[in-house]
Amino acid sequence: MSEKKRRRTEAGPLAASASLKKSQRSGSHAQGLRKQLKPDAEILASVREMYDAAQSAASSSKALTLSDLSLSAACREVSDRDVASVQLAIERAVLAMARSILAGRGFSFDVPSRAASNQLYVPELDRIVLRDKSSSRPFASLSTVRKATITARVLSLVYAVLRRDIHVTKRDLFYTDVKLFQDQSQSDAVLDDVSCMLGCTRSSLHVVASEKGVVVGRLVFTDDGDRIDCTKMGIGGKAIPPNIDRVGNLESDALFILLVEKDAAFMRLAEDRFYNRFPCIIVTAKGQPDVATRLFLRRMKTELKLPVLALVDSDPYGLKILSVYMCGSKNMSYDSSNLTTPDIKWLGVRPSDLDKYRVPEQCRLPMTEQDVKAGKDLLEEDFVKRNGGWVKELDMMVKTRQKAEIQALSSFGFQYLTEVYLPLKLQQRDWL
Amino acid sequence: MSEKKRRRTEAGPLAASASLKKSQRSGSHAQGLRKQLKPDAEILASVREMYDAAQSAASSSKALTLSDLSLSAACREVSDRDVASVQLAIERAVLAMARSILAGRGFSFDVPSRAASNQLYVPELDRIVLRDKSSSRPFASLSTVRKATITARVLSLVYAVLRRDIHVTKRDLFYTDVKLFQDQSQSDAVLDDVSCMLGCTRSSLHVVASEKGVVVGRLVFTDDGDRIDCTKMGIGGKAIPPNIDRVGNLESDALFILLVEKDAAFMRLAEDRFYNRFPCIIVTAKGQPDVATRLFLRRMKTELKLPVLALVDSDPYGLKILSVYMCGSKNMSYDSSNLTTPDIKWLGVRPSDLDKYRVPEQCRLPMTEQDVKAGKDLLEEDFVKRNGGWVKELDMMVKTRQKAEIQALSSFGFQYLTEVYLPLKLQQRDWL
């Protein structure tokens, strides 16, 4: 503890003169904001309200599923299924194949279409699902014999993986039969087909993506049976496991989840043990969200019923990252209900923060033409339009043509993020 | 345990027929190799010999340092120094500046040159160091006033970081004074200058790089005071901390360190708990080695005196990754003694393995012209030339113009890597 305290002591003479010089420039407003901070107990009270709202919302309103809606078109989603039931589904498919062959009718797979034309954004669910179009993939046809063979092979490989109860990567799968698959995009595509055919997620097939996310804070869970206490994971944090089905027994006394876009901000929060002052779970995918981190976030949000606050760069890319967490990517739309975490609050850094916190001009960056176009495209997206606050912020970004990284806050001091910016945000309930 | 066992049980009917089909093709030799495996106790005996050799080598021969060699030219390296001593060094530098100014002589920094012309490969140390050339950076000169100012500013910022006893990233540092630094390459370059001036590593300045490495296996250490048991880190493993100076109390009953190039192989090893069968520490930087992982590997190797075996792709890039771990990158040559881990053994996948294990033709990839050039360039490198075995392997790679990924071994079964390939490698002491 003494070490922790030591870190908080004020800086020495050289540093003091440096910070003096700085405050004479643009930092005086920033330091003024520091004085607005109320005692932690009061800040926590406003956080607790958000927490209570999330808890009651989660328990009162059962999460909507496709079957709750009376959609004009039949739609399709996949769900997590256990090893035995996926095995059973494969055995049934193979049995049906065998019967069909014995009856002299050859065999054919019925494969749901994953094309964009077969995708549908469902506002009530706030995610993309598949319509019911599907196509036949007969073995006895020159145009589909190869794909039918690959499909049979992937079914057999997945079955072998499930029997051993291990996990493999897409690349592993590809290498088991390079001659047949020829290149990895072919086995990858059929793997997604098989997910849709069997009605289960890709994780249920035990084919996993490599992970790059890390987590730290008020969370305890088991990874393959090992109990992990994320308050005791130092500064590096715990690497998020690639196989979500081995994650279990989530426990937490956190009031919220803090989703961070970048590594460096994560390190600052972890080193300052921000979660000890404001009970939270801190998670990052270090940039573009990977599947493992998205699954893990969703799992935390649904099981622990915690509100999620996002800290991203103030640029279109930061918002795109939010959209991947919230609405999924079009590529995996059939799996959207398991991959997406609805209702993430945009805490910061928001375009309006740049003036509110008086981020110095030289720490803001001009947006490129491409940035501006990306911003305008986002304004057309459903998930942005539904949120008036977001539209306003994005409008401001596109008009001012300025962007800024989370790190721009370092211009007020290395620990400004954890000591002033975030506490003040929480105190003022300043999320959208 | 029952779960662990279940995973090892043989595959079901579908899988069996699949593996039968495969063995009729190219897998029969691969399965034959499985029969060559001796009981684990015998394999462990050969591993233990390697371990004993590494232990006695480490304790008998004190690691050479620059001062042990009578080099014709004076050379320069930096070393890890604690917070107090770096602070003292900065205070002394500032005091000297002040005295010089008061004496009417203005002030100037004496900055060691980090240019290629000032670098020297020292075969006895097997790393690159700096020669003694340095240049003067006076404040009262139009050509150096800017750089002198930046240097003074970086000294002051580093001092502030050390006083707070926190860690920051290069990007944080840049953002504290964008007006002065203009772009990050300028503050980064001066940061390296400051390292050389003060004779300490960049980690000692508490400026860290973002981490992406993970570790799992027979290792216990503390990360910022938290005790981490890497046998209880599930499949995801423990993220390697960005700040090596917060890592301490390393303990291990491992016989070797297994350095893995890629994520997917790491996952296979972690899920199969390879370290329980053969006591080892498994570490990966997920591709190109980052500074944090290199520091961590070196720390393990020197403190635990363990041999290091590397598992990389059989291509020039895999060997380049080895060279970064072993000899460092030219960019950070002044810091090479702290970043490099000498004497890493090349376990696999080696060009000769492709035929020895009869990796199917379709799992090998043709080398591009660029690959071949990279291979030929490597043959000219000192660290390759010193090892006859490596030259032979690399020669073979360039001549056959074939490369292969670690994952190519999946063509013999998903767990071939952990169940046959690696145990056989260890049994036959097949490392170079």
Q: Which of A175, A325, A334, A357 is catalytic?
A: A175
Q: Among residues B267, B256, B270, B192, which one has the least CA distance to residue B431? A: B256
Picking from A235, A243, A272, the nearest residue to B235 by CB comes out as A243
Q: Give me the pLDDT at residue A26, please.
A: 57
A–B: how many Cβ contacts below 8 A? 251
What is the rounded average pLDDT for all residues in chain B? 87
In terms of domains, do A247 and A361 share one? yes
- Domain limits for position B121: 75-208
**CB-based contact, A208 to chain B, within 8 Å:** yes
Interface test with A, best of B88, B176, B269, B361 (most A CBs within 10 A): B176
- Looking at A208, A237, A266, the residue that finishes a domain is A208
- Nearest-Cα residue of chain B relative to residue A225: B234
Contacts of A208 in chain B (CB under 8 A): 267
Contacts of A17 in chain B (CB under 8 A): 156
**CB-based contact, A18 to chain B, within 8 Å:** yes
Classify A182 as helix, strand or coil: coil
H helices present in A37-114, as ranges: 40-60, 83-102
In terms of domains, do A243 and A190 share one? no
- The mean pLDDT of A154-176, rounded to a whole number, is 91
- The mean pLDDT of A108-128, rounded to a whole number, is 82
In terms of domains, do B196 and B121 share one? yes
Residue B120 · residue B131 · CB < 8 Å: yes
- Nearest-Cα residue of chain B relative to residue A155: B14
- The mean pLDDT of A316-342, rounded to a whole number, is 83
In this predicted model, what pLDDT tens digit does every residue of B105-162 receive, in sequence order?
A: 999 999 998 888 888 877 777 777 888 889 999 999 999 999 999 999 999 999 999 9
B195 Cα to chain A: minimum distance (Å): 18
In terms of domains, do A216 and A203 share one? no
Please indicate, yes or no, if residue A70 is contained in any of the structural domains: no
- The mean pLDDT of B257-268, rounded to a whole number, is 93
Contacts of A411 in chain B (CB under 8 A): 175-178
pLDDT value at A61 more than 80: no
Contacts of B9 in chain A (CB under 8 A): 163-164
Q: How far apart (Å, rounded) are the C-alpha atoms in residues B87 and A36? A: 33
In this predicted model, what pLDDT tens digit does every residue of B200-252 receive, in sequence order?
A: 988 899 998 777 899 999 999 999 999 999 999 999 999 999 888 889 999 99
Please indicate, yes or no, if residue B10 is contained in any of the structural domains: no
Q: Among residues A304, A305, A298, A306, which one has the least CA distance to residue A335? A: A298
pLDDT value at A159 more than 90: yes
Please indicate, yes or no, if residue A22 is contained in any of the structural domains: no
pLDDT value at B11 more than 90: no
Instruction: Give the pLDDT band (50/70/90) at residue B26.
Output: low
pLDDT value at A8 more than 50: no
**CB-based contact, A220 to chain B, within 8 Å:** no
In terms of domains, do A88 and A235 share one? no
Q: Give me the pLDDT at residue A300, please.
A: 95
Q: Give me the pLDDT at residue A5, please.
A: 41
Which helix (DSSP H) or strand (DSSP E) does residue A357 occupy?
A: none
- Given an 8 Å threshold on Cβ–Cβ distance, is B236 in contact with A241? yes
Q: Give me the pLDDT at residue B257, please.
A: 97
In this predicted model, what pLDDT tens digit does every residue of B312-355 receive, in sequence order?
A: 999 999 999 998 898 877 667 777 778 889 889 999 899 999 99
Picking from A174, A234, A405, the nearest residue to B223 by CB comes out as A234
- Given an 8 Å threshold on Cβ–Cβ distance, is A271 in contact with B175? no
Picking from B165, B175, B234, the nearest residue to A241 by CB comes out as B234
pLDDT value at A4 more than 60: no
A404: β partners: A314
- Given an 8 Å threshold on Cβ–Cβ distance, is A15 in contact with B408? no
In terms of domains, do A138 and A43 share one? no
In terms of domains, do A399 and A414 share one? yes
Residue A288 · residue A265 · CB < 8 Å: no
Tell me, what DSSP letter sits at residue A404? B
In terms of domains, do B265 and B353 share one? yes
Picking from B3, B166, B226, the nearest residue to A414 by CB comes out as B166
Q: How far apart (Å, rounded) are the C-alpha atoms in residues A123 and A246? A: 32
Q: Give me the pLDDT at residue B3, please.
A: 46
Tell me, what DSSP letter sits at residue A256? E
pLDDT value at A414 more than 60: yes
Q: Give me the pLDDT at residue A316, please.
A: 94
Interface test with A, best of B4, B88, B175 (most A CBs within 10 A): B175
A3 is in an annotated binding site: no
B263 Cα to chain A: minimum distance (Å): 6
Contacts of B235 in chain A (CB under 8 A): 167, 223-224, 241-243, 246
B275 classed as catalytic: no
Classify A29 as helix, strand or coil: helix
Interface test with A, best of B164, B284, B299, B409 (most A CBs within 10 A): B164
pLDDT value at B66 more than 80: no
Known binding-site residues of B for Mg(2+) equal 261, 313
**CB-based contact, B222 to chain A, within 8 Å:** yes
CATH of residue B225? 3.40.1360.10
In terms of domains, do A268 and A178 share one? no
Q: Give me the pLDDT at residue B6, please.
A: 44
- Looking at B208, B233, B259, the residue that finishes a domain is B208
CATH of residue A83? 1.10.10.10
Report CA B196 to chain centroid distance, whole Å. 21
pLDDT value at B255 more than 60: yes
**CB-based contact, B83 to chain A, within 8 Å:** no
Instruction: Give the pLDDT band (50/70/90) at residue B20.
Output: very low
**CB-based contact, B226 to chain A, within 8 Å:** yes
Amino acid A90 reads: I
In terms of domains, do B353 and B396 share one? yes
A180 Cα to chain B: minimum distance (Å): 9
Please indicate, yes or no, if residue B364 is contained in any of the structural domains: yes
In this predicted model, what pLDDT tens digit does every residue of A198-207 receive, in sequence order?
A: 989 888 999 9
Q: A212-221, A281-290, B207-216, B411-420 — which is least confidently predicted?
A: B207-216
Instruction: Give the pLDDT band (50/70/90) at residue A119.
Output: confident
Interface test with A, best of B158, B224, B273 (most A CBs within 10 A): B224
In terms of domains, do B253 and B360 share one? yes
- Looking at A148, A182, A208, the residue that finishes a domain is A208
- Given an 8 Å threshold on Cβ–Cβ distance, is B19 in contact with A360? no
B360 Cα to chain A: minimum distance (Å): 9
A76: β partners: A130
**CB-based contact, A241 to chain B, within 8 Å:** yes
How many domains, in total, are found in chain A?
Answer: 2
- Given an 8 Å threshold on Cβ–Cβ distance, is A271 in contact with B11? no
Q: Give me the pLDDT at residue A15, please.
A: 46
Q: Give me the pLDDT at residue B63, please.
A: 63
What's the Cα-to-Cα distance from B356 to each of A123, B359, B360, B421, B425, rounded to whole Å?
Answer: 58, 8, 11, 11, 11
- Given an 8 Å threshold on Cβ–Cβ distance, is A360 in contact with B179? yes
Rounded CA Rg of chain B:
25
Q: Give me the pLDDT at residue A72, please.
A: 58
In terms of domains, do A151 and A193 share one? yes
In this predicted model, what pLDDT tens digit does every residue of A268-300 receive, in sequence order?
A: 999 999 999 999 999 999 988 988 999 999 999
pLDDT value at B62 more than 50: yes
Q: Which B-chain residues 284-343 have CB contacts (< 8 A) with chain A?
A: 286
pLDDT value at A69 more than 90: no
Please indicate, yes or no, if residue A371 is contained in any of the structural domains: yes
- Using a pLDDT cut of 90, give the percent of chain A over it: 58
Picking from A169, A241, A360, the nearest residue to B235 by CB comes out as A241
- Given an 8 Å threshold on Cβ–Cβ distance, is B210 in contact with A286? yes
Neighbours of A432 (CB within 10 A): 15
Contacts of A164 in chain B (CB under 8 A): 7-9, 11, 15, 414-415
Q: How far apart (Å, rounded) are the C-alpha atoms in residues B228 and A239? A: 13
